[in-house]
Structure 1
Amino acid sequence: MFGRLLRCLLPLLALLTSPTAWAQAPGRIVAVGDLHGDFDAWQAIARAAGLIDDRGRWSGGRTVLVQTGDIVDRGAGSRRILDHLMRLQREAPRVGGRVVVLTGNHEAMNVTGDLRYVDPGEYAAFATRGSVRLRDLLFEQQRAAFATRIGAAARKLSGGAVRQEWDRQTPLGLVEHQLAFSPVNGVYGRWIAANPVVAKMGDTLFVHGGLSAEYARFPLDELNRRAAAELKARSTDEAALINDPLGPLWYRGLVTRAPDPDEPPLPPGAVKLPSRPGIATELTQVLAATGTKRMVIGHTPSLKGIVIDHDARLIRIDTGISRYYGGPLSYLEIIGERLVPHVVPRPSAGTGMRQ
């Protein structure tokens, strides 16, 4: 009887166990990079990798899927990908598999209210028949504050013009979108805050942007705890791990030392970052500090495909999968010490699984 009970509890225990570090690597790992709202591309990759069946259910057996973040922004299918990954996280442990989703900088941006890259279709996915009424009520509550914020008086805007600007800045579905990404009460915000920003499986380290030498000094569990606390607080502090250019969500220094195009320029008088060790030297330091042989990252697109660099110590799996970038659909398969990049044909638009 105890054995039967234990077998029933194993899937639940797998879900509750922290995915930060596995002493031994799973037999097969499939790693997928930035998806940016392209649901059809995600479905094509998941099927090609043998992770799902024709109905979108987990069929990967004991495989561990690692998705390295940036599911959202730049594409209309973000909500569908989120829903599907959350479902697979529940299904995979029933047969000994696992789904680990890292938090990327774009997930953090959505949680903290930085919506500059949200696609109109992402808002539309949250719109309901009550969205117009909800937007009207919110406008009545915030009319005066909004008019002040946009300088309506100085610009001599009429009441109708103020309302038009409100509607332009508040597309239908935006309010519901932000409620869903609340780290306190929102279904996606809470899930994102609970996901790790770095995970270690055997000799392999997975992180969205890259782990800098500064952050490699901290235990991985601590990095994940800090990120979770900052996301729950919706921190916009530039020094917070989730916002720091040297932090694991944003760091590109293991790929390039060129300025990050997504980062604003330093304000006048700001202190510039100190000079850094060379990329190969820093990578060696980080891998030694974390007790790993290789690091798998997303964040910085390589439109030529997966890059296995620095004697297979750095693997870049963001290949611009989303139609926004138009790069190749890809996934990395890790079996023991073998690193196998795969390319998947891009499906015609709208051919993904319907949930």
Structure 2
Amino acid sequence: MLSISLIIFNLFTFSLANGDEIQNTIDGPYLFKTEEGIVGKWVEDSTLFQEIITADNYPKLQSKFNFKFGFEALTQDFSSQIDYVQENEGIDSLVAFSDIHGQYDLYIELLKANGIIDNDLNWSYGSGHMVIVGDIFDRGDKVTEVLWHVFGLEQQAEKAGGKVHLVLGNHEVMVLNNDLRYIHDKYKTTETLTSTTYDQLYADNTVLGQWLRSKPVAIKINDMIFAHGGLSPTLVNNDVSIEKINKTFADQILGRDRASILSDEFLELLYRSNGPVWY
């Protein structure tokens, strides 16, 4: 018997950090893949820290940020692991939710309450599948914490015979395409300290950026399709497959210039209000 938990998680009330909270915050790490190795950058108390991350000093980083994965995970080539088809059959335990929007503490509370993780924040859902239907980014002030936890949980689930699915929502697409209207003030501070724009902290030369670019926009589990927005009649009438949707987003939309996207009729269909992340 299929066990399904559909959690309605779509909250839009946030407590914005004041100046003192932003000043004393910690953010990161943002890990860049360079010729010298993996370079880590993070912020503590309005100070930028940077160092090359190796297997030897990784435990220090792991302890600081409570990572749930080993150093080898940072060296993976996620671009070689993209699954455009995204069909999953015979799944008998499934939980789905969306719109975390940087609310890490509430996200953790939600997963604990539904038996997805244990008190040590580790995967406890066995062979079950967990679907995050988009919008980890924007509004809240603990986006990075959520992303790294999902990153680690994904690997724990695989080892247990389960799976974590992160489906890209409109806010993931917005950030990767440099639409930063809804980022929290905390991340504006990070931009200043790192002398870069927020989207470049998730560029395709970063661990999280490459990982996010490997994620689908639509997936099929048993007889259900999951997308952040939905499949509009226009999209369905054009007989566009999940495989084509995911491949087009990965190859021609994510990280691309808005003008070039809107100059193509099919890309515009996927990108705007009748597309799967907005509809």
Q: Distance in 2 between matches of 1:45 and 1:112?
A: 29
Q: Distance in 2 between matches of 1:235 and 1:227?
A: 13
Q: CA separation of 1:174/1:81 partners in 2, compared to 1, >3 Å: closer, same or farther? A: farther
Match of 1:107 among 147, 152, 172: 172
d(CA) in 2 for partners of 1:30, 1:203: 15
Query: 1:209 is matched with which residue: 225, 229, 237?
Result: 229
In the alignment, the residues of structure 2 paired with residue 223 and residue 178 of structure 1 have an alpha-carbon distance, to the nearest angstrom, of: 23
1:58 is paired with a residue of what secondary structure?
coil
How far 1:235 sits from its partner (Å)?
A: 3.5
8 Å CA contact retained: 1:75, 1:121: no
- Is the alpha carbon distance of 1:114 and 1:23 closer, same or farther for their aligned partners in structure 2, counting shifts above 3 Å? closer
The CA deviation at 1:42 is 0.5
Superposition TM-score, scaled by structure 1 size: 0.51
Kept in 2, the 8 Å contact 1:26–1:63? The answer is yes
* Distance in structure 1 (CA, Å) of the matches to 2:188 and 2:162: 32
Counterpart for residue 177 of structure 1 = 198
1:24 Cα shift? 2.2
User: Secondary structure of the equivalent of 1:172?
Assistant: helix
| Alignment-derived partner of residue 240 in structure 2 | 218
Corresponding residue for residue 206 of structure 2: 186
Q: Work out the CA distance in 1 between the residues paired with 2:255 and 2:198.
A: 18
For 1:276-315, list aligned pairs within 5 A.
none
How far residue 54 of structure 1 moved from its aligned partner, in angstroms, is: 1.4
1:122 aligns with 2:187: yes
Q: Tell me, which stretches of 5 or more residues in structure 2 are unaligned?
A: 1-75
1:93 maps to what in 2?
A: 158
Amino acid corresponding to residue 124 of structure 2 in structure 1: S
Aligned to 1:210, the other structure's residue is in SS state: coil
Assess, with a 3 A threshold, how the Cα gap between structure 1 residues 16 and 190 changes in structure 2: closer, same or farther: closer
Q: Root-mean-square deviation (CA), in Å? A: 2.3
Any conservation in 1 of the 2:128–2:163 contact (CA below 8 Å)? Answer: yes
- Provide Cα deviations, 1:256-277, integer angstroms capped at 9, x if missing partner: xxxxxxxxxxxxxxxxxxxxxx
Bigger radius of gyration: 1
Alignment of 1:228 with 2:256, yes or no, is no
Deviation at 1:227, TM superposition (A): 0.6
**Counterpart residue type for residue 172 of structure 1:** L
Who is 2:41 aligned against?
A: none
Give TM-score, length-normalised by structure 2.
Answer: 0.63
Instruction: Tell me how far 1:16 sits from its aligned partner.
Output: 4.6
1:25 and 1:34 map into 2 onto residues whose CA distance is 26
1:186 Cα offset (Å): 2.4
- Structure-1 separation of matches of 2:82 and 2:205: 23
Tell me if structure 2 keeps the 8 A contact 1:105–1:242.
no
Partners of 1:115 and 1:177 in 2: CA distance:
7
**Structure 1 residue 59, shift from structure 2 partner:** 1.2
Cα separation, partners in 2 of 1:68 and 1:23, compared to 1, 3 Å:
closer
Q: Deviations over 1:298-348 (max 9, x none)?
A: xxxxxxxxxxxxxxxxxxxxxxxxxxxxxxxxxxxxxxxxxxxxxxxxxxx
- 1:246 partner amino acid: N
Corresponding residue to 1:61 among 121, 126, 132: 126
**1:213 Cα deviation (Å)?**
2.0
SS in 1 for 2:193: coil
State the Cα distance separating 1:185 from its structure 2 match.
0.8
Matching residue's letter, 1:226: T
Question: Which whole-Å CA distance do the structure 2 matches of 1:37 and 1:67 have between them?
Answer: 13
Contact 1:198 1:224 in 2 (8 A): yes
1:45 is displaced (CA, Å) by 0.8
Cα deviation digits, residues 176-212 of structure 1 (max 9, x gap): 6332211x21223222221000001111110001111
Q: Distance in 1 between matches of 2:82 and 2:248?
A: 18
The match for 2:99 is 34
More strand by share: 2
Contact 1:197 1:249 in 2 (8 A): yes
Identical amino acids, percent of aligned pairs = 31
1:134-153 deviation line (CA, Å, top 9, x unaligned):
xxxxxxxxxxxxxxxxxxxx
Report the Cα distance in structure 1 between the residues aligned to 2:195 and 2:229, rounded to whole angstroms: 27
